[in-house]
Chain A
């Protein structure tokens, strides 16, 4: 265990060894969040009595898988000492083992949609979605209130088929534990310590479950980054971060501030950008890698030109993709490509922004992959399968295209964020008006994915949903001091359209 501790910096070590009953670890991007949490679990697992487990809650299956792999390397008989899983997985196990409902099966979102369609054949697609969203919101946020009147019918059909949807798992587990004090005290004894990852993204029912679980005397470790809370639209609430001390007694807060991911310029720029969204000042992050890196701001005339800029720049980053890039002087012969395609990600606010990008990538022949788009010959059973698929695909040597939301938890040497403009960041298209603070955090999540090179790109004119928009650069960028911004105009000179470009458009 000593070598585990030696791999930690002082704050991390404190976080691992702290005996506080409730501990809040604020871990910004690249600060070794998963490593710290894993080490803490490994160390705390040694203090367990037989027939006790640590409950480690992650946000996604992907994260659970990663944590399990890391723990197995550190903890002997890991599976007997730690339960690693999402809230859904844990609640499912509670219902199966304590509620003695072993036949319980989980309905995929597609199953639920099918059932709803049969129940209410007259509703339009949008109405159906709204109806299901309302039910979901009730189960995860307003669960103490009266249910929407459609809920009962849906639940009835689900139960007749022996099914629970994802929200049901949490809701039922909460109801069960709230009503069965015997089972609850048994569970509390079994799980004397709970660790929650991505605490900024928990929703009210999850919060309620945590409070039930820890009750009096239970230990809780929550780790996360309030600056990266981006799931309010799913009912997550970053306020639980602020109320942690009040909700769980004897709270200690530890900040991890050493950033092992990004170069200083990227850390400073993202820090300046996120500052207005913070309620209180937090310690500044310190870069722990000392490489050269760059933040580049580029403005294109159109979304098409933006896409071309991204593709040309990637060509330069890999040092040319063909003799043609050399012969056309698109890439100077002394430029060394340091990066491979798999180290580059292109992020955007809306899925529809991918359209021009995909066209430009196809023209260039650069291998790319769009996260969240079903591949050929592939049916997505549910989110979890999709998630696993994302992980697989990202590992390939291809440029990854994805939404800012999907980029959470990932890191890349080079990151492009397209559409850094008003109307997109913050999102404010007609009918949709997102919370500006949450949008700011979303951009922060995107920026902090970058290790060495970050490109903030925007277009003056853009087509979205069949309409042309004239967009000013995002006001979020105004918070970044000019000295940090490398102006792309000094380095980027697109060539006039060449014959071979024309040629390729034929296909």
Chain B
């Protein structure tokens, strides 16, 4: 079994961390417990150059850090986290164009099987638009045509519509998407076999649409900093190779095991609302308010939950034929922060986080595999209890809306205080 996080960004994308270089991706993949990481931004000439300098083909379409680079980059990785990391060439393209008289904004993740193919792809896109100023280029290119160019460039290349429910930038988004993949990709729809759920939706929400039955669900972090790696991921069995993953998704084989998910409420666009006015609306409230913000009376941003409801043709609880299990998690640092009652970026949380990685192992194994007792010994009962509750889904989340992340609530103040007293007692 292994985890893959296909969709991330490099430092060449706008509004991303400067640390997003091959070395820190290599480092953080191991801390998180990811075996296959997307290169991200493979349409960017500067980034591809950097990839070529630091990586070499690992056989069958994947890449690995060159030995000397890996040695330096990995010297501080705790023993319990160490593992092989493979990279797959991937990149996100933002297509903004007019179709059927409406402005469409779609994000798509493309995958290529070799450096040479990625270079050919860059040549093609470079003639159409500017691919050098943003790792995720904005092109006035129809998503269908993007797919066509990809298939012409690389026979085993493939395209996955990104975070398909995001209001502003996705194939089914409420603001500038379509009502179906068919409407977007037309005659080439048959070449698509996977869709990315995005943070604000989980597979069960997607199973409510018959039109999504032909596709398998893929989950990725869409990380804009290395620390966010693996917050969502896709789980595979069998051998690690480009072809193996490609076939597992394309044919929905038994080697496609499932996905790691955010609780969708934690995503930035689960509910509806209006950020400027801090108005968070359940879709039912939106309907009651006729789509307007109760504060400023301007239209709210309609989120993922409402949009799924709008397009769904099945009630909740339906499973699609290609459904795979999924596991909803909360990032470990957030659980620690919740247990300590401090901010997630605080030094305290960071120290505890690395301490746990040192004594236990990578984050995904902590969140999913270690026994609660074992975790308690290393990190205390409250953090262990927090992880238990996350595993069981015993948590409250104030849903995200209009670009604001949802906020999770695992412990009450009383529980935190009791835990503190116990700590003093023992």
Contact = CB atoms under 8 A, between A and B. Distances in A.
A327 B400 CA distance: 14
Q: Most chain-B CB neighbours within 10 Å: which of A367, A368, A398? A: A367
B18 interface: yes
A340 B98 contact: yes
A362 B130 contact: yes
Interface in A335-365: 336-343, 361-365
A507 B103 contact: no
A397 interface: yes
What is the interface of chain A mostly: helix, strand, loop, or mixed? Answer: loop
A396 interface: yes
Contact of A341 (B133, B140, B169): B140
B64 interface: no
A339 B301 CA distance: 19
Contacts of A364: 133
A342 B15 contact: no
A432 interface: no
Given A320-B168, A365-B138, A504-B14, A339 B129 contact: no
B140 A322 contact: no
A322 B94 contact: yes
A507 B12 contact: yes
Contact of B275 (A333, A361, A504): A333
B130 A368 contact: yes
Size class of the contact patch on chain A: 35 or more
A120 interface: no
A366 interface: yes
Contacts of B298: 334
A321 interface: yes
Contacts of A329: 276
B204 to A, nearest CB: 25
B176 A333 contact: no
B80 to A, nearest CB: 35
B169 A334 contact: no
Contact of B129 (A322, A333, A363, A398): A398
Interface string B59-103: 000000000000000000000000000000000001011100001
Given A318-B103, A338-B103, A365-B14, A398 B140 contact: yes
Contacts of A324: 14-15
A319 B103 contact: yes
A321 B15 CA distance: 13
B133 A340 contact: no
Interface in B1-52: 11-12, 14-16, 18, 46
B420 to A, nearest CB: 36
B138 A333 contact: no
Interface string A70-112: 0000000000000000000000000000000000000000000
A337 to B, nearest CB: 5
B98 A333 contact: no
Interface in B265-293: 274-276, 293
B201 to A, nearest CB: 16
Contacts of A323: 15, 168-169, 403
Interface string A473-507: 00000000000000000000000000010011001
Contacts of A322: 14-15, 94, 136, 138, 169
B340 interface: no
A337 B96 CA distance: 11
B96 A397 contact: yes
A435 interface: no
Interface in B205-248: none
Given A333-B276, A342-B98, A397-B140, A319 B176 contact: yes
Contacts of A338: 103
Contacts of A507: 12, 46, 132-133
A383 interface: no
Nearest to A322: B14
Nearest to A340: B98
A333 B140 contact: no
B274 A500 contact: no
Q: Most chain-B CB neighbours within 10 Å: which of A322, A333, A398? A: A333
B175 interface: yes
A340 B140 contact: yes
Interface in B96-114: 96-98, 103, 105
Contact of A367 (B132, B139, B276): B139
A243 B268 CA distance: 68
A332 interface: yes
Interface string B179-210: 00000000000000000000000000000000
A326 interface: yes
Given A367-B139, A396-B128, A334 B301 contact: yes
Interface residues of B, number: 40
What is the interface of chain B mostly: helix, strand, loop, or mixed? Answer: loop
Contacts of B139: 367, 397
A363 B103 contact: no
B402 interface: yes
B141 interface: yes
A367 B15 contact: no
Nearest to A324: B15
A324 B138 CA distance: 13
B180 to A, nearest CB: 21
Contacts of A320: 105, 168
B169 A365 contact: no
Interface string A376-405: 000000000000000000001110000000
Q: Most chain-B CB neighbours within 10 Å: which of A322, A324, A337? A: A322
Given A339-B103, A365-B133, A334 B274 contact: yes
B385 interface: no
B393 interface: no
Q: Most chain-A CB neighbours within 10 Å: which of B14, B136, B176? A: B14
A378 to B, nearest CB: 10
Interface in A296-336: 318-324, 326-329, 332-334, 336
B300 interface: yes
Given A319-B103, A333-B403, A367 B129 contact: yes
Given A341-B96, A397-B96, A503-B18, A326 B403 contact: yes
Contacts of B276: 329, 332-333
A484 B15 CA distance: 38
B138 A366 contact: yes
A324 B15 CA distance: 7
A333 B141 contact: no
Contacts of B105: 318-321, 337
Nearest to A337: B103
Q: Most chain-A CB neighbours within 10 Å: which of B16, B105, B141? A: B105
Contacts of B137: 365
B273 to A, nearest CB: 9
Contact of A340 (B94, B96, B134, B274): B96
Contacts of B130: 361-362, 365-368
Contacts of A368: 130
A337 B176 contact: yes
A350 B49 CA distance: 37
A339 B140 CA distance: 12
Given A318-B103, A504-B133, A507-B46, A333 B14 contact: no
The 7 closest A-B pairs by CB, nearest first: A397-B140, A365-B134, A340-B98, A367-B129, A324-B15, A334-B298, A397-B97
Given A322-B14, A367-B139, A397-B139, 7 more contacts: A321-B94, A322-B94, A322-B138, A333-B402, A365-B137, A365-B138, A366-B130
20 contacts: A318-B96, A318-B105, A319-B105, A319-B176, A320-B168, A322-B136, A323-B15, A323-B403, A324-B15, A333-B274, A334-B298, A334-B301, A336-B175, A342-B97, A343-B98, A365-B14, A365-B133, A367-B139, A396-B140, A397-B142
